[in-house]
Amino acid sequence: NAGVTQTPKFQVLKTGQSMTLQCAQDMNHEYMSWYRQDPGMGLRLIHYSVGAGITDQGEVPNGYNVSRSTTEDFPLRLLSAAPSQTSVYFCASSRGLVFGNEQFFGPGTRLTVL
Amino acid sequence: AQTVTQSQPEMSVQEAETVTLSCTYDTSESDYYLFWYKQPPSRQMILVIRQEAYKQQNATENRFSVNFQKAAKSFSLKISDSQLGDAAMYFCASSNSGGSNYKLTFGKGTLLTVNP
């Protein structure tokens, strides 16, 4: 099993550009989520999905869109990048909802917005 | 709302010694889980240990153990016989069975340095 994979590993954008961060898992997990990690802030939830076709907002959803058309994939779209979105982004998945279940994290994407 | 507080931004330990990382939390839920995740320089987040609030016995995983004090809302991580590979950022996190069971709430992290 590859686990949770994320592409790209690094990305530099200019303000106003759009892009999609890719996330895929091969463990048949129902639950997937996106977090952002900023220095001194821990990880904060952006969006999550409890299954194909079902998504919802987390703590910091503004400026991001998600969709979940398959169990395996959960892409994160930045519609118009802003410097405040400079961060490290992690995708995670688990067998069920977060309560009690180990979250499996991808390797992260470091995004810089100039 | 849940909150998780790690009061030690940085800690250091000598190789083979023992170190304890502190974590306090606040929740209004009666059932919840607490976790410690490790993030080495590779950035990969790895689960170290977890504890269910209903279980009185402290969780243990090899050299890693927790001191769970439910009344004090404290959940510290003890690393015994520290190794160079233990150097990492450690995050305490919580999840609950109630309305916010869709997410982990993380502390800000403690950076652990292991000195040879």
Asked if the peptide bond before residue A107 counts as cis, ω within 30 degrees of 0, the response is: no
Residues of A in contact with B46 (CB under 8 A): 105
A84-113 residue pLDDT tens:
999 999 999 999 877 888 899 999 999 999
pLDDT of residue B99: 67
Tokens of B40: 């080495």
Scan for tokens 């959940």, then name that residue. Answer: B75
Rg (CA), chain B: 14
B65-112 residue pLDDT tens:
999 999 999 999 999 999 999 999 999 999 877 666 778 899 999 999
Number of alpha carbons in the 13 Å side-chain half-sphere of residue A8: 9
Scan for tokens 């499996």, then name that residue. Answer: A104
Spatial separation of the C-alpha atoms in residues B114 and B88, rounded to whole Å: 9
| Chain CA centroid to CA B114, Å | 17
Spatial separation of the C-alpha atoms in residues A46 and B93, rounded to whole Å: 16
Q: Do B52 and A100 touch (CB under 8 A)?
A: yes
Chain B: closest CA distance from residue A14 (Å): 24
B8-28 residue pLDDT tens:
999 999 999 999 999 999 988
For the ranges A3-17, A60-74, B3-17, B21-35, the lowest mean pLDDT is seen at B21-35
